[in-house]
Copies of this chain bind each other. A is one copy, B any other.
Amino acid sequence: MTARIEFRLNATDGKARTGVIATPRGDIRTPAFMPVGTAATVKAMLPESVAATGADILLGNTYHLMLRPTAERIDALGGLHKFMNWQKPILTDSGGFQVMSLSGLRKMNEEGVTFKSHIDGSRHTLTPERSMEIQRLLGSDIVMCFDECTPFPAEEKVALESMRMSMRWAQRSRDAFGDRPGHALFGIQQGSIFRDQRAESAEKLSDIGFDGYAVGGLAVGEGQEMMFDVLDYAPDMLPQDKPRYLMGVGKPDDIVGAVARGIDMMDCVLPSRSGRTGQVFTRHGVVNIKNARHQDDPRPLDEACTCPACRSYSRAYLHHVFRAQEMISGMLLTWHNLHYYQELMQGMRDAITAGTFEAFQAAFHAQRAEGDIEPM
């Protein structure tokens, strides 16, 4: 694998972009949605089923994998792709976000962060250098810089200090990553909701130079309106010729709105997590399959959907197996949700290519407004 990872922009429509990230493990069509495979599995799915939904790339969580089964073990077993039976590209996060949200007893300083495992209480340290090492051991195709996801809300001064430390960590990540043909390193813009900080962060990252750039520090409780406010300007500050990745987003309308603002990649646990809790995404909005209204309904979740759940099962069946707490419920509903998300991405890619993205957005919102759907 000596080829470089390359981003080709094929079309734009307004700020929305469509293209391809070419990697030795296959092309990633953008805008791309990455299902989350936290612990070396997209929950309730076989990897061939994930691929069948149209996913070109998965996200793996460094924090979870370093604790169990450990990066060294995965490396000894041939890397994450082989371990989890997924041969297409994998992006790994840096571990920083999950350390803050999941682990206990953290101590952070300029060097990095020390924490206790949420699994067994064991003590671990993550630094930019260690995060790069772990992501290399995993065999990740797209590696993320180790950063601090600035909490929200943050005072301007606190956000500034946090962003500047993340920029120093970005340089250390870049230095530790080195030159690895066939593998990409993405920088992460911080700066909370402060435009001048976002600009400073973007400038610093482009000076260092990365293969792609993430908009970080969003989807952390600020709400869609404020997130869109930041996305109205933050992606424009990043290099035009590299992919832009919005981390941890989101609901279908978040995704459409982010693409409209120039985002190329996203990831979120929402479609898989919702699949396990009976919340289903459709063109007409959200269906809560546990509601008794579905118990005699012979219709599929969505007549127009071609996923296995919609092709072969009634709402009545899906209601029944959800209520009976059968595993097939999570399996089918996760499959449907991931299929829905990938169809949404394909629809956006087609519309951007055709120059009809504005009409696509209008139809997307109109269809949801007319639905007979429960509020989410």
CB-CB < 8 A to A296: which residues of B? 73, 76-77
Contacts of A320 in B (CB 8 A): 39-40, 68-69, 83
A298-B77, A331-B327 known; A321 and B39 CB under 8 Å? Answer: yes
Q: 1/0 contact trace for A269-285 toward B, CB 8 Å?
A: 00000000000000000
User: Which residue of the partner chain B has the closest CB to A276?
Assistant: B327
Enumerate A29-56 residues with CB–CB distance to B below 8 Å.
Answer: 39-41, 43-46
CA distance A346 to B77 in the complex (A): 34
User: Given that A308-B46, A321-B40, A321-B41 are contacting pairs, would A69 and B316 also be in contact in the complex, using a CB cutoff of 8 Å?
Assistant: yes
For chain A, the bracket of interface size reads: 35 or more
With a cutoff of 8 Å between Cβ atoms, the chain B residues found around residue A324 in the complex are 39, 41, 68
Instruction: Assess whether A115 is interfacial by the CB under 8 Å rule.
Output: no
A326 proximity list for chain B (CB < 8 A): 39, 41, 43
A328 x B69 contact (CB < 8 A): no
Instruction: Find out whether the CB atom of B73 lies under 8 angstroms from the CB atom of A312.
Output: no
B residues near A295, Cβ cutoff 8 Å: 69, 73
* Distance in angstroms between the alpha carbons of A332 and B48 in the assembled complex: 13
- Asked if residues B68 and A328 are in contact (CB atoms below 8 Å), the reply is no
Residues of A within 8 A of B (CB): 39-41, 43-46, 68-69, 73, 76-78, 83-85, 295-296, 298, 308, 312-314, 316-317, 319-321, 323-324, 326-328, 330-332
